[in-house]
Amino acid sequence: MTGVARRVTTLLVVMLFVSAVVFVAIHSLPGDPARLMAGPQAPRSVIDALHARLGLDEPLSAQYVHFLKRALSGDFGLSLRDGTPVGAAIAQRLPYSLLLGGLSYVLAIVIGVPGGTLAAVRVGQWPDHLLMAATLVGASLAGFWVALLGMEIFAVRLHWLPLMGAGDWRHYILPVMVLALMPAALILRMTRTGMRDVLRQDYIRTARAKGLPPAIVLTRHALRNAMVPVVTVICLNLGGLISGAVVTETVFDWPGIGRLLIDAVRYRDYPMIQGITLLSILGVLGANLVAEILIAWLDPRTRGN
Amino acid sequence: MRRSVFLCCITAGFAMKSAAAACAAGLTVMLAEPPRSMDPADQNATATHSILAPFYESLVQQDETGSIRPGLATRWSGSVDGRVWRFTLRPHVLFHDGAPCDPEAVAASLKRLIDPKAGLAGAGVFRGLIMDVAEDGQDVVITLARPYADILHLLAMTQAAVVSPIAARGGTLGRHADGTGPFRFGDWQDGDHVRALRFDRYWGAAPSLDWINWTWSPEPSVVNMALQTGDANVVMPISPVFADLYTPGRPASAEAVVYRAPGSALFWAALNTRLPPLNDPRVRRALSLSIDRRALVAGLLHGNGQPACFAITPETPGARGCGAAAGADIDQARTLLEQAGWHKGFSITAVVQEPEEPIAEALQAMWRSIGVRLVIRRQEAGVWVQSAFAPPDEKKRSETGVIISSWSAPFVADLQIRPLYAAASAAPAGANLGFYDNPIVDAEIEAAAGTLDPIGRAALYGTIQTRLADDAPMLPLYVQDDLFGVRRDIEGVTSLPDGEIVVTQAHRRPVR
Amino acid sequence: MIRIMRRHPALCLGAMLCGLALVLGAIGPVVIGGDPSAQDLYHVLQPPSWTHPCGTDAFGRDIFLRLIYGLRLTMYEVVVSTACAAGIGIPLGLFSAMAPSWLDRAIMGLSDMAFAFPGLVLALLIVSLLGPGLFHALLAIAAFSIPIYTRLARNLTHALRHATYIEALQVLGASRARILFRHMLRNIAAPVLVQITLGAGTVVLSAASLSFLGLGAQPPMPEWGTMMSDGRNVLGAAFWPCLFPGLAIALAVIGLNCLGDGLREALDARSEQS
């Protein structure tokens, strides 16, 4: 447990460091949100008044101290664009992103793990070649291109699926499939590699030699160990998933945090960019922590240290 | 929320009459961008105006032809010198929160708008012009700092809408609309929708809709698809490239109709008159002459607009058309450049936002024919405003020569010219982005704004326009038509010249 | 030759696609000629035909011609971005492997953290900071690819450090630099080459994503991602401005991935044989 505690402390220190870097970076972005709000007709006096109201006239260090104090009590400031609390806006959008990301990971695992196992068992035969070719193509397509073609074909021409936005289950089909494309390919390949390595191990040969049915050998002995690289991919690819979500949410007009981020960058909504960036880093670092713990649990060899 | 709409449409699809009648209750409208605020005084965006219009009313309102109609005021009169305006209020009008809309509330609302301490984003044109607002019995009296012929048009703007004094004091307006309009605020879910519900204690005729659901998407193709699939009943604007899909006989025309209304947004390229070689009027005129405005309208707007060669938009009194000047005159342009000593060509830089980027790309190709190389800097909204409104020395440092954008101030010639050409509005103070400075034009702008006689005013604006076309500090390009799409089962949707969509009077076509 | 093709079909397909791209990019514009920026505003969005095999775009420009010219930009993207990422990442990884263990841990910790950072978010911040433009976008892409090369180079070198022959060289008194550059670099070259090939595919995709979000190439560059991004504005009225650049990107990335995968397999097979 002390290992976990130490890692959590490291995570907090890293977050503090990262928050300062992100704060400075975001506030040195070119652009002026006040001018944007006031519109082109506004005279200087209106802009100055807005600057004062938004707290943008203070020195950067003072703004950071303010931010840190409030952030510790869970207050990430107000959006410059529409005055909503950043925390509330993120909390409201986050479930949409989590559901989309979660479902696409589930789909990726449902395709990737059995697919990878099949490929590993049939190495060098046609199912293996077919699956490998499919993952190669899948990992080579630009997500938004697939999304746009999917929308054109399934929503506009065939009217099978709704076009965009969030709503009932049918709204999830296209975005989940698009977002699952890359992780599915990755997981399939990792499972295949991991499975191949495991199947060559002595203890699997022993299990086979004992006369255990192949299905049992596969699921009970091999799969568990082959899962190590898969868990690693899933957790470490969270950054990739977030990147994918930004694009996918933009195309599908999905009310998640990816689109919130794009809008915030466009309008120079500093507190919002900051909140989302920090949250995504926290998420990624947290996922790494979970990955380490999970791998330790899955793989007895690493348990000793 | 969306699910109920969807279920509704399914039932309507099965043509059950009673169910269809129950569904006739609402309307989903898709815009290009989300609202900036629920406070009419704290925003300056057309899409936001559309969303706020059903919630709020102003003293007077402007219809699609530009005539002023009664709003919260039933009668009004201006003093002979045009500085004092008296408005008689409509009695028994209630805000959505139940407060009465009396002269006190109207005065408080307008005072809030011009209050420097409130720091409201929409205060721009009002502060400095409105000097005092007072109540007098059932009347409200507005005193102006100087005579201003178009004050009624200004008061009809969304920014001057009357807000509930209780909500204004409570500071909740930004997130929760509270006015006197036929619809009251339902909810605003970020990134998803704003919902308006019918206000049952509205003073006027009750609308037939129970609710309006506002959604938005920045993707033009998504907006078009939403109209075709029925995800939205009304879309505004629909990109010109899709307008042809809805011509009778084509498949999409069975689903929806695209309406075209003459627009008021004038697209232009402002030239930095302080940056050589653009400080030479001959060079600026050469740039203007080498633009084929007819091709811009054909290619970028797919014919849905008009070429513009002068500063005032077509619907405004005193406007002038292009005539033969709509095409390019490359030879004349070359001659001018030669006279100015720039026949070898030069290189300039344009800053542009994403939606106007195609204009820059078209100009880039056209100017290439006279040896002018245009470097395009596409910038995000927040960055663009900063570079566009930068002062002369900063623009010189960044070598910003051309700024491409649009301007919309329907029917009000003064607001189409003063902010863009008067020396006093030179950036960063105003939108004279190229720092044009001509004392003669300045004097004429003042004279025209103070001339209450419409014919004399139109003549003055005629003179100003010719002068501006010769000096060419800004190159007018075109006026784009407002295009909006409406599903076949909806009637009664109109648009205003500032690009606002009006759906409060919309209703479902009876089921046959 | 045929035997190689039978044994490594992916490698061959990849080499063919990449070779074709190189040839087309090098001589295509010279052979075909024409101006990829020439507009015809009176004939915009013409569907594919014999004169315009991929149709024309929203400015009446020939899409096929632009795709061919765009190949050079794609190569430029791959070269600049990969050179930056590998040029910083690999020396850093080598250094880390040879450095004292505390420094090694610190560098690798930082690198893992940077790797975990959502790439597009990082790129978004970098491009917003520097201003939009293809070169800045490529720098941003390079920035989030560095840790991959660092980790790879470090792990490979670290494993080699205790290999018998390296230890023997040390005993024989070979200088550190000599060991590093003569022996280690040569030994890690093959896996790094595989990573560069696979990474190149990611570069093309990432550049397209950034251009799609309006942060990449500036007009009138015939950059594929920008072309596709422009095409999405007319999707529904015309599919070709979006379809063909997307196909071009997909083919290029498939080519690079096939090549990388094939190379890896071939190398694996070789090491298994030995």
Q: Which pLDDT tens digit goes with each residue over C220-239?
A: 889 998 898 888 888 888 88
- Closest CB to C41 among B242, B296, B380: B296
- Neighbour count for residue C266 (Cβ, 10 Å): 17
What average pLDDT does range C192-200 have in this prediction? Answer: 86
Output the pLDDT for position A268.
77
Average pLDDT of chain B, as a whole number: 88
Distance CA B13, CA B17 (A): 10
pLDDT at residue B22 above 70?
Answer: no
What are the pLDDT digits (tens) for C135-178?
988 998 898 889 889 988 888 887 777 777 777 777 777 777 77
Tokens of B28: 């989903």
Residues 215-254 of A with CB under 8 A from B: 251, 253
Residues B219, B225: Cα–Cα separation, whole Å: 10
Q: Is the ipTM of this complex over 0.90?
A: no
- For range B214-233, the mean pLDDT: 87
CB distance A93–B44 less than 8 Å? Answer: no
The answer to whether C130 faces chain B, any CB pair under 8 Å, is no
* Whether A167 contacts chain B with CB within 8 A: yes
Sign, CA torsion A218/A220/A224/A230 = positive
pTM, to two decimals: 0.82
Of B262, B63, B82, the closest CA to residue B153 belongs to B63
The string of pLDDT tens digits covering residues B136-175 is 988 999 999 988 878 899 999 999 999 999 999 988 898 8
What percentage of chain B reaches a pLDDT higher than 90? 57
Q: What is the pLDDT of residues C2-15, one digit of tens each?
A: 666 667 777 888 88
Q: Mark which residues 92-131 of A lie under 8 Å from B by CB.
A: 92-93
Residue A58 confidence (pLDDT) above 80: no
What per-residue confidence (pLDDT) applies to A271?
82
pLDDT computed for residue A305 by the predictor: 40
Mean pLDDT for chain A?
79
Check B361 against C131: CB less than 8 A apart.
no
pLDDT tens string C238-256? 889 989 999 999 999 999 9
pLDDT at A214 over 80: no
Per-residue confidence (pLDDT) for residue B16, from 0 to 100? 37
At B268 the pLDDT is 95
Does C217 score more than 70 pLDDT? Answer: yes
Instruction: List, for residues B424-478, the tens digit of each pLDDT value.
Output: 888 877 789 999 999 999 999 989 888 888 888 889 999 999 999 999 999 999 9
Q: What is the pLDDT of residue C3?
A: 67
Binning pLDDT at 50, 70 and 90, where does residue C272 land?
low
The answer to whether residues C140 and C123 touch, using CB atoms and an 8 Å cutoff, is yes
Residue B62 C-alpha, separation from nearest chain C C-alpha, in angstroms: 33
Please tell me which chains touch C, using 3 or more CB pairs under 8 Å as the contact test: A, B
**Residue whose tokens read 């030179």:** B426
pLDDT digits (tens, 9 = 90+) for A162-174: 777 777 788 888 8
Helices (H), ranges, C117-235: 119-130, 134-161, 164-172, 176-178, 185-212, 224-232
Residue ranges of domains in chain C, CATH in brackets: 54-273 (1.10.3720.10)
Chain B residues with CB inside 8 Å of A38's CB?
44, 121, 124
B 93-112 near A (Cβ less than 8 A): none
Contact C85, C145 (CB under 8 A): yes
Where residue B1 falls among pLDDT bands split at 50, 70, 90? very low
Asked if the Cβ–Cβ distance from A162 to B229 is below 8 Å, we say yes
* Residues in CB range of B49: below 8 A, 6 or more apart: B43, B158, B498, B500
Residues in chain A: 305
**SS3 state of residue B13:** helix
A219 CB-side CA count, 13 A: 4
- Across the range C179-196, mean pLDDT stands at 78
C262 in A contact zone (CB under 8 Å) = no
CB hemisphere CA count around B2 (13 angstroms): 21
Angle at which helix C119-130 crosses helix C185-212, to 10 degrees, equals 70
Kindly indicate the confidence band of residue B262, based on its pLDDT and cuts at 50, 70 and 90: confident
Q: How many CA atoms lie within 13 A of B323 on its CB side?
A: 3
Let me know: does B61 contact B156? Beta carbons within 8 Å. yes
From A25, A136, A288, residue closest to C125, measured CB to CB: A25
CB B359: neighbour CB atoms within 10 A?
22
- Show residues of chain A in contact with C119, CB under 8 Å: 239-240, 243
The per-residue pLDDT for range A91-124, each reduced to its tens digit, is 888 888 888 888 998 899 899 888 888 888 887 7
Question: If you average pLDDT over every residue of chain C, what do you get?
Answer: 84
Q: How confident is the model at residue A56 (pLDDT cuts 50, 70, 90)?
A: confident
Q: Domain A91-302's class?
A: mainly alpha
Digit-coded pLDDT (tens) for B280-332: 999 999 999 999 999 999 999 999 999 999 999 887 888 888 888 889 999 99
Residue B43: predicted pLDDT:
85
Say whether residue B397 is in contact with chain A using an 8 A CB cutoff: no
Domain boundaries, chain A: 3-72, 91-302
Dist. CA C183–CA A276, nearest whole Å: 46
Tens of pLDDT, residues B181-217? 999 999 998 777 899 999 999 999 989 999 999 998 8
